[in-house]
Amino acid sequence: MNENTALDFDLSDFDFSEMNLLSQEELNERRTDITGVIDDDTVFVKPNLVSCEKMQIVEDLPNLEYHKTDGFVSSSRLKSLNVTEWHFVNYIGSTAPAFAFGNVVHDDIEKRIKLGSFVNWAASALKAKTTIKHDKLEISNEYLKIIKQYRKDFENNKTLSNLTENCLSEVSFFDFERMVKVRPDIITQVGNDIVIFDIKTVASIHWLNSDIRKYKYDLSAGMYADVIEKATGKKVRWCFLLICKVTGLTQLVEVKDKTLQDWKFGFTSLLDDVNGINLDRPKGYKKEMI
């Protein structure tokens, strides 16, 4: 097992060429690294989620219905405010082709949680490495190898197996007081705490800090934690469930309480900025000196 991965780890001494030198047997030995307070002895319980006047909680809301909900700000839209006010006001949600395999993984794990089995993907006859044909449930051999690898962890690893048997997937939270909405990948309860597992497909397990900065995962985590704490009245903890889209290896990375508090503050601060936007004349790019 590797050491626990914290969000302030030092990558300066890591040899990124190492992964290219490992045999398949060595990769399999490193396949899952789950450390910290979440371990094989952790008892997961499906949380009892109840709506109230200012917070509506909806299970099994179709994905299209969630994304077309008018008036509520999603984390993706809020992130666009980091670009300019104009981008926030004129936000149009879209999914880039680069995220296509990530969506496949999300759907695969969601089906495992809700129905007890994975999606019945078959190898495509096409040679393209990135082939995904949803209508025929066909996918490239390269992607299928990765899928089979992480599925072994979900079937054979006690922590992941227990988690998927005792959690909820894709529950939608609508905050009517602040008009924001969140939809965590996996939500469960450990003791008195709510624990969110955010599924991320990554090019390298070791580049998480870089991905957090690049894709603003900290803003999403802070937003989700803040909203769900208000909805449940319970402390929220956050874990990234990483799946390497090169090897299929998995790892859980737990976020420290202080780090999550900082991320929540970042969310509320940015949300406050929304109130200062002139919707008729949103600001564009600022002048810069280079």
pLDDT tens for 120-152 read: 998 887 766 677 888 888 898 889 999 999 999
* Mean pLDDT within 68-73: 82
Compute the distance between CA of residue 85 and CA of residue 82 in angstroms, rounded to an integer. 8
pLDDT in the model for residue 10: 36
pLDDT in the model for residue 38: 83
User: What is the count of structural domains for the chain?
Assistant: 1
Q: Is residue 57 part of a domain?
A: yes
Q: Is residue 117 part of a domain?
A: yes
Q: Is residue 2 part of a domain?
A: no
Q: Is residue 74 part of a domain?
A: yes
pLDDT at 66 over 80: yes
Parallel, antiparallel or unpaired: strands 180-182 and 138-139: unpaired
The token duo for 15 is 């040899």
Query: Residue 255, class by beta-carbon neighbours within 10 Å (0-12 exposed, 13-18 middle, 19+ buried)?
Result: buried
Arithmetic mean of pLDDT over the chain: 85
Q: Is residue 6 part of a domain?
A: no
Compute the distance between CA of residue 106 and CA of residue 198 in angstroms, rounded to an integer. 10
What is the span of the domain harbouring residue 264? 27-272
pLDDT in the model for residue 197: 97
Q: What is the pLDDT of residues 91-119, one digit of tens each?
A: 987 666 667 889 999 999 999 999 999 99
Q: DSSP string covering 143-164, please?
A: HHHHHHHHHHHHHH-HHHHHHH
Q: Is residue 162 part of a domain?
A: yes
The answer to whether 167 touches 158, Cβ cutoff 8 Å, is: no
Q: Is residue 123 part of a domain?
A: yes
pLDDT at 13 over 60: no
The answer to whether 178 touches 231, Cβ cutoff 8 Å, is: no
Q: At 142, which CATH number?
A: 3.90.320.10
Q: How many Cα atoms sit within 13 Å of 204 on the Cβ side? A: 12
Q: Is residue 21 part of a domain?
A: no
Q: What's the distance, CA 268 to chain centroid?
A: 20
Predicted confidence band at 237 (pLDDT cuts at 50, 70, 90)? very high
User: What is the greatest pairwise CA distance in the chain?
Assistant: 60
pLDDT at 20 over 50: no
